[in-house]
Amino acid sequence: MSALVEIRGLTRHFDLGRNQIVHAVDDVSLDIAPREIVGLVGESGSGKSTLGKTMLGLHDKTAGEVVYKGETLPQRYAAADFQRYARAMQMIFQDPYSSLNPRMTVGEIVAEGLRLHTDLASHDIRDRVSEWLERVGLNAGHTSRYPHEFSGGQRQRIGIARALIMEPEFVVCDEPISALDVSVQAQVVNLLGELKESLGLTMLFIAHDLSMVRYISDRMAVMYLGSLIELGPANRVFFHPKHPYTEMLVGSNPEPDPATERNRPPTAIRGEIPSPVNVGAGCRFANRCPKVMDVCRGETPELRVVEDEGNAERIVACHLY
C-alpha cells in the first residue's frame, strides 16, 4: 500500500547562537499509510512536538522532506501554502487551556480555519460550526460562549472541532489528553477513535501514556533525543520492546497486571534526558543504557529491521541487534 504521508530524513534544528545547535529532530524517516494511526512516544524533550509541527509546516525543515500523496511539500511554508494544505493536514494541540484564544467565542474559534482558508459563505460556515459542535458532543447553541466557560474536556472537544471542521485527511494529535483529568481522558480518546473511523482519518498520535497509545495505534514509534529509535506494530513494541530505552519507557508506565489487577510498580527510568544541544556521534542513549557496550559510545546505531510480521516490520536502532 502506498503511504499517505512519507517523511524522509526529516531534520529540525534550532540555532541558539554561539554555536549552540538544538538537535530537536534528527534524520527521522517514517511512512504513514492511509487510515493508519501511528503512536509516537518518548520522554518530554525527545522532539515529538517538533516533529509534528515540522511535518505540518509550522516549523521550516532544516533538512529532509515531507511527501503528501506523492507531492513533496515546501521546505518553508509561505502563507499560500498554509491555505493550500490546511484542509489536508491539521493539528490538535496538547493544552486546551492555552491553545484557545480566550478573547474569541467558541463559534469564532471553530470557524476560524474555514474563514481564513476557504471562501465559504458565512451562513454555510455557521451551519458547519453548529454541526461540528454537535459532532464532538457540545451544545450547538453555545457558540457565543468563551473558552473559560467550559471544562478542560469540553475545551479539548472545541480544539478537536476546530481542527476537524477543515475535513483534513491527516491529523497530528499532540498529547490531546495529557492535560485532562483521568476520568475524561478515555472519553476524549473514544471520541477521537469514533471520528477517526467515521472520517477515515490518518493520524500521528503523540502521547505520554504508552498503554493509551497501544490501545489507539496500529504502530508505535519511539523517539529519543531527536532520533527515531524503534518502530513496529503497537502491541509488539509494547509487550516485547527491543530497544533498551523502549524497555525502560514501558517499564515506567504503570499498567495493571492482568493476573493481580494491581498496578505493577514502575521501574524507574535512570537519569534525566540529556540536552539535545550539539549531540555528537554514538548512541544518544548510551550514557543511560543498562546494556551499554563500547561500540555504543563511538558509533551511531543505524535503524535495522529486526522482526518482520507480514507488512508490519519492526525496526530498531541499537547495537544489540
Q: Which positions lie near Mg ion, rule CB under 5 A?
A: 49
Q: Which of 4, 5, 10, 22 binds ligand ADP (CB under 6 A)?
A: 22
Applying CB under 6 A, which part among 45-53, 73-81, 141-149, 209-217 lies near ligand ADP? Answer: 45-53
Q: Give the binding range for ligand ADP (CB under 6 A) out of 40-48, 81-89, 142-150, 164-172.
A: 40-48
Of 190, 198, 187, nearest to 215 by C-alpha is: 190
Nearer to ligand ADP, 113 or 159 (CB): 159
Size of the site for ligand ADP (CB under 6 A): 12
276 touches ligand ADP by CB under 6 A: yes
Question: Closest separation between CB of residue 178 and ligand ADP, Å?
Answer: 11
- What whole-number distance in Å separates Cα of residue 141 and Cα of residue 94? 26
By CB atoms closer than 10 A (0-12, 13-18, 19+), residue 279 is middle
Is there a contact between 143 and 106 (Cβ–Cβ < 8 Å)?
A: yes
71-83: burial string, b at 16+ Cβ within 10 Å, e else: eebeeebeeeebe
Q: Is 185 in the site for ligand ADP (CB under 6 A)?
A: no
In the bound state with ligand ADP, the residue whose beta carbon lies nearer, of 45 and 147, is 45
Specify the residue, 12 or 319, whose C-beta has the smaller distance to Mg ion.
Answer: 12
* Burial of residue 305 (number of CB atoms within 10 Å: 0-12, 13-18, 19+): exposed
**Least distance from ligand ADP to the Cβ atom of residue 46, Å:** 4
Which does residue 217 bind out of ligand ADP, Mg ion, none, counting CB within 5 to 8 angstroms by kind? none
Distance CA 219, CA 209 (A): 15
Query: Which three cell numbers, joined as nine digits, stand for 166?
Result: 477543515
Task: Provide the binding-site residues for ligand ADP, judged by CB under 6 A.
Answer: 14, 22, 24, 42, 44-50, 276
